[in-house]
């Protein structure tokens, strides 16, 4: 499984900005980011803050009916357009500026490169990696690596356009 350049790309943090009172996806991501920052800070204040943000994360996870583990490695600029029913395994790694639609499951050690779009209902069953700028079609079931720039769809997922190597 090849490692993608997750840290080499620049995240667009405005994609995670809370713009209105009811922005559950952005509020879920804020809770996750602040929990990770508090844990990293350490000390008594960091411990108290991490507990607060863990509860906040639990609240927004319940509202969204999503399960995104608190210690999942997620690059900046993740967009959860409709955050209902998203399941992300704790061993998954998500690159910068990705977009994940509702009812998506990343099962096992799935590595998404930067700028990957994952369509509604898609299931990615790892271990596998998805290259930068790839597109996963709605309801696709991906069980093999996806090359950079490819578009995959179907059950099981096959490359329908883009990079045919991999």
CATH of the domain at 117: 2.160.10.10
Owning domain of residue 118: 13-161
* DSSP annotation of 139: T
The pLDDT tens digits for 37-58 are 999 998 999 999 999 999 999 9
In a domain, 4, yes or no: no
Q: At what angle do helices 24-41 and 43-64 cross, to 10 degrees?
A: 160
* Active-site choice (69, 82, 89, 102): 82
In a domain, 70, yes or no: yes
H helical segments located in 18-152: 24-41, 43-64
What whole-number distance in Å separates Cα of residue 13 and Cα of residue 149? 23
In a domain, 109, yes or no: yes
| Weakly modelled stretches of the chain, pLDDT under 70 | 1-8, 163-166
In a domain, 3, yes or no: no
In a domain, 141, yes or no: yes
pLDDT at 165 (0 to 100): 58
In a domain, 2, yes or no: no
Q: Is 115 a catalytic residue?
A: no
In a domain, 22, yes or no: yes
In a domain, 7, yes or no: no
pLDDT at 164 (0 to 100): 65
pLDDT at 62 (0 to 100): 95
In a 10 Å sphere around its CB, with 0-12 CB exposed, 13-18 middle and 19+ buried, how is residue 161 labelled?
Answer: exposed
Rg of the chain taking only CA atoms, in angstroms: 16
pLDDT at 162 (0 to 100): 72
Residues in the chain: 166
pLDDT at 142 (0 to 100): 97
The count of domains in the chain is: 1
């Amino acid at each position: 499984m090849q490692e993608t350049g997750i840290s080499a790309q620049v995240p667009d943090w405005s994609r995670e900005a809370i713009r209105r009172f009811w922005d559950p996806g952005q509020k879920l991501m804020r809770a996750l980011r602040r929990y990770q920052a508090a844990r990293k800070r350490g000390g008594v204040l960091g411990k108290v803050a991490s507990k607060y943000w863990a509860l906040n994360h639990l609240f927004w996870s319940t509202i969204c009916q999503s399960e995104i583990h608190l210690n999942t490695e997620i690059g900046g600029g993740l967009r959860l357009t409709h955050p209902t029913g998203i399941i992300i395994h704790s061993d998954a790694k998500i690159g910068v500026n990705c977009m994940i639609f509702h009812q998506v499951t990343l099962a096992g050690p799935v590595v998404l490169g930067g700028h990957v779009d994952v369509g509604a209902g898609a299931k990615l069953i790892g271990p596998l990696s998805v290259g930068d700028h790839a597109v996963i079609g709605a309801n696709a079931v991906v069980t093999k690596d996806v090359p950079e720039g490819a578009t995959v769809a179907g059950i099981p997922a096959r490359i329908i356009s883009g990079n045919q190597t991999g």
